[in-house]
């Protein structure tokens, strides 16, 4: 596909990197010579200097023949204008990053009037992801599929967990009454594996299990993992993610405190969020955190604009005994370091945005043929993916037992959802037309269910 990306910032550069790896013909537009030079030196893509909202620039970039135009500049208004002009020129689809809360209420109307096919709000999407993590305080990450019917939860295995040392094939027999979940993925010492029959989990492994929400809840209750509801949350930083997250948490009865270093911004947040305890001060000041009751908090979420501050303050909260600490981090280089320091719950607005856009791109790349991706989650720092498909009538795998199909290497048919029934499949199970099928893959680039299973 021919894809135009406008804006060579953090999100734009990461997107271009992934799109190029997946074999797309990518053109990136930016007005900054320095960032374009960096991209040209590291990636095999065409770089054009100019304003993406300028018709001549878009024409030079080939907007008339573009399959998708992605606007990811720092300005919401520029992004919307780029999409409008690009579509008028002939681009088939458009994606705009729109971040300002002011636009959130009228987003549906804006998309219709400006002919935007997909609008992505990274901060709101990240806030939603944090909300899921707060539901399972012990979890490193939580993903949902099939309209919330299926959940995948990642957690750190500990000494004393009953399944430690048991081969996968013996867990159900040895542990009577353990709810049946799928052990979908294990990360050990930086290596990601799909566990098979003889595989056994060790303490320290990051384990991902999948199942319907009731079974998942019962599974962790069986393991004795904490399921205490989080009632008090402290947020570091008063940015957009904090704003959206507070709007999500307050209606659930959660008490929210928010620390913001900018006095004017703190006053504005206090007016916009009257039920939130907005504190004016430096959230990296350990004395201030202690004065505001950090030790009494059930969760602490670091959402400042600096990854280093988030990391250090998160470590301080862990040392103070806060049960759940979530750290915002956009730097891939820090991912392994953060995990080694005991901070398992990491959120990245950049990764959330890229995963959503890549899902859309893969779906459009496969539009009209095959079975396209409907949902995509990047797991364990992008080392693996979980993808959701809806099986199509006429596909060659329909009705054939999974044991009689060829499965792509390093992939797993994790869950099948059929008429609201969640099935953890075995060799004798089959896929029917209309089923939701969730695939785990240790590689990226899959856009069609037929790429995973075939006769």
Q: How confident is the model at residue 175 (pLDDT cuts 50, 70, 90)?
A: very high
Long-range own/partner contacts, residues 244-249 (CB < 8 A, 24 or more apart): 244/101, 244/123, 244/124, 244/126, 244/127, 244/128, 245/127, 245/130, 245/131, 245/301, 245/303, 246/273, 246/276, 247/127, 247/273, 248/127, 248/128, 248/131, 249/131, 249/134
Per-residue pLDDT tens digits for 160-169: 999 999 999 9
CATH node for 2-120: 3.40.50.720
CA atoms of 139 and 133, how far apart (whole Å): 7
CATH node for 232-347: 3.40.50.720
Residue 391 in contact with residue 440, Cβ under 8 Å? no
Domain 138-223 has CATH 3.10.129.10: no
Residue 129 in contact with residue 326, Cβ under 8 Å? no
Per-residue pLDDT tens digits for 313-347: 999 999 999 999 999 988 766 666 676 676 778 88
Q: How confident is the model at residue 127 (pLDDT cuts 50, 70, 90)?
A: very high
Q: What is the DSSP letter of 433?
A: T
Q: Do 2-120 and 138-223 show the same overall fold?
A: no
pTM of this prediction?
0.76
Pairing of β 141-145 and β 150-156: antiparallel
Q: Residue 394, Cβ neighbours under 10 Å: how many?
A: 7
CA atoms of 180 and 131, how far apart (whole Å): 25
Give the domain ranges of the chain. Answer: 2-120, 138-223, 232-347, 365-454
Arithmetic mean of pLDDT, 395-407: 92
CA separation (Å) from 446 to 21, 22, 39, 125, 363? 12, 9, 25, 23, 10
Q: How many CA atoms lie within 13 A of 389 on its CB side?
A: 30
CATH node for 365-454: 3.30.70.1450
pLDDT for residue 382 is more than 80: no
Q: How confident is the model at residue 240 (pLDDT cuts 50, 70, 90)?
A: very high
Residue 210 in contact with residue 182, Cβ under 8 Å? yes
pLDDT for residue 368 is more than 60: no
């Amino acid at each position: 596909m021919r894809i135009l990306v406008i804006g060579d910032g953090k999100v734009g550069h990461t997107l271009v990197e992934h799109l190029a790896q997946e074999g797309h013909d990518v053109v990136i537009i930016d007005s900054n010579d320095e960032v374009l030079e960096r991209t040209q030196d590291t990636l095999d893509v065409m770089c054009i200097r100019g304003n993406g909202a300028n018709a001549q620039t878009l024409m030079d970039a080939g907007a008339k023949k573009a399959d998708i135009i992605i606007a990811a500049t720092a300005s919401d208004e520029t992004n919307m204008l780029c999409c409008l002009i690009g579509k008028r020129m002939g681009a088939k689809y458009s994606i705009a990053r729109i971040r300002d809360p002011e636009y959130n209420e009228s987003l549906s109307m804006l998309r219709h009037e400006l002919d935007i096919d997909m609008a992505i709000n990274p901060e709101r999407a990240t806030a939603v992801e944090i909300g899921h993590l707060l539901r399972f305080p012990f979890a490193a990450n939580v993903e949902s599929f099939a309209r919330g019917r299926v959940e995948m939860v990642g957690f750190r295995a500990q000494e004393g967990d009953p399944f430690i040392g048991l081969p996968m094939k013996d867990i159900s027999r040895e542990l009577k009454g353990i709810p049946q979940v799928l052990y979908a993925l294990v990360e050990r010492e930086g290596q990601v594996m799909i566990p098979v029959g003889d595989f056994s989990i060790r303490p320290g492994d990051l384990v991902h299990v999948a199942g319907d929400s009731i079974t998942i809840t019962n599974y962790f209750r069986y393991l004795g993992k904490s399921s205490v509801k989080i009632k008090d949350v402290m947020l570091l930083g008063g940015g957009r993610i904090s704003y959206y997250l507070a709007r999500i948490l307050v209606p659930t009865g959660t008490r929210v405190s928010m620390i913001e270093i900018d006095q004017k911004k703190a006053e504005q947040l206090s007016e916009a969020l009257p039920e939130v305890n907005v504190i004016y001060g430096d959230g990296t000041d350990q004395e201030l955190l202690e004065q505001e009751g950090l030790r009494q908090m059930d969760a602490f979420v670091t959402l400042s604009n600096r990854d280093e501050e988030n990391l250090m303050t998160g470590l301080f909260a862990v040392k103070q005994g806060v049960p759940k600490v979530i750290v915002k981090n956009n730097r891939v280089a820090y991912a392994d370091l953060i995990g080694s320091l005991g901070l398992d719950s990491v959120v990245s607005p950049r990764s959330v945005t890229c995963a959503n856009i890549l899902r859309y791109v893969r779906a459009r790349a496969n539009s009209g043929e095959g079975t396209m991706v409907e949902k995509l989650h990047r797991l364990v720092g992008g080392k693996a993916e979980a993808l959701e498909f809806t099986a199509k009538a006429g596909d060659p795998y329909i009705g054939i037992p999974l044991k009689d199909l060829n499965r792509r290497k390093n992939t797993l048919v994790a869950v099948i959802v059929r008429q609201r029934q969640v099935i953890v499949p075995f060799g004798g199970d089959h896929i029917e037309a209309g089923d939701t099928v969730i695939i785990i893959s240790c590689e990226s680039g899959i856009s069609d269910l037929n790429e995973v299973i075939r006769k």
